[in-house]
Amino acid sequence: MNIFVPLILAAILYIQSAPAFSNVLHYRPHGPGRPDGLLNWLQPPRLQSYPTPTQSTTLISCSELRQIIIRNGYTAGDDLEAHCQILNRDASRLGRIQTRTELAMFLAHVLLETGGLTQFEEHAALVDQQAAARYASPLGRKDKYYFGRGCLQLSWPENYKDASLALYGNGNILIDDPDWVARDINVAWATAFWYWRERVRVVSGVIDSMDFGKTIRAINGQIECSGLDATAQKRFEIYWNILAVFGLPQPVHRNISC
């Protein structure tokens, strides 16, 4: 008998007994909405729509990210370094974020929407099926819900489809599996960077004037910009705190308006 046959049979038996790779992708030791930190395993497929920078850009240190989280009343989790890696890897590549001031605006919304990088699914929709169903549209699948997920709470089938097409070259990937946006730390950030790039930074006044109020209007304007809204005020406070951590100048006039 060929001496390699037993080795081959042993290898086949080992592979059959090993857990499927998809189980690794779906592993969430911290519970719903928490990133699992398996940065090297959780690489989204076909994330090639935007150019990769020729050199690594360090926009934020892990120490700064920790300070930002704590200064705004949140608790830094075990996956802070993974978040830090993704920010420096993809903020410019996927979100076109070029400056620390722009990063401060972006992160202010991320911290508020995720409770300091701890919740990646809309809580109300998780506990109330009617709340989840309000995001339905003919574009979505009948057995799926398109409530807020990810670092900027991606919502509505249209946004899931557009993000999926831009990031992965296939509009059906996130339409068929919207939970992936909350399940995978990379996708949670990638969809947020996409939304920032395509829906926020293109708004007049956001980049040319660094007007934080305009970013609120682009993200949640119908709800928060009709008066003196407490959530909008909280977004401003987080933004100002991030500027302080970055050592950037505060706005001359702290007008809370959007």
What length is written for the chain? 258
Rounded CA gap, 100 and 63, in Å?
15
Q: Which of 193, 219, 214, 195 is nearest to 203 (CA)?
A: 214
Which long-range CB contacts under 8 A does 134-141 form with residues at least 24 apart?
139/175, 140/175, 141/175, 141/176
Rounded CA gap, 173 and 187, in Å?
11
| CA distance readout (Å), 161 to 63, 136, 180, 194 | 35, 13, 13, 12
Asked if residue 243 lies in contact with residue 250, where contact means CB atoms within 8 angstroms, the answer is yes
Beta-ladder partners of 149: 121, 154
Beta-ladder partners of 214: none
- Buried b or exposed e, range 54-93, using 16+ CB within 10 angstroms: eeeeebbebebbbbbbeebebebbebbebbbbbbbbbbbb
Catalytic site includes residue 81: no
* Residue among 81, 102, 113, 237 flagged as catalytic: 113
Angle at 153 between CA 116 and CA 140, to 5 degrees: 155
Catalytic residue positions?
Answer: 113
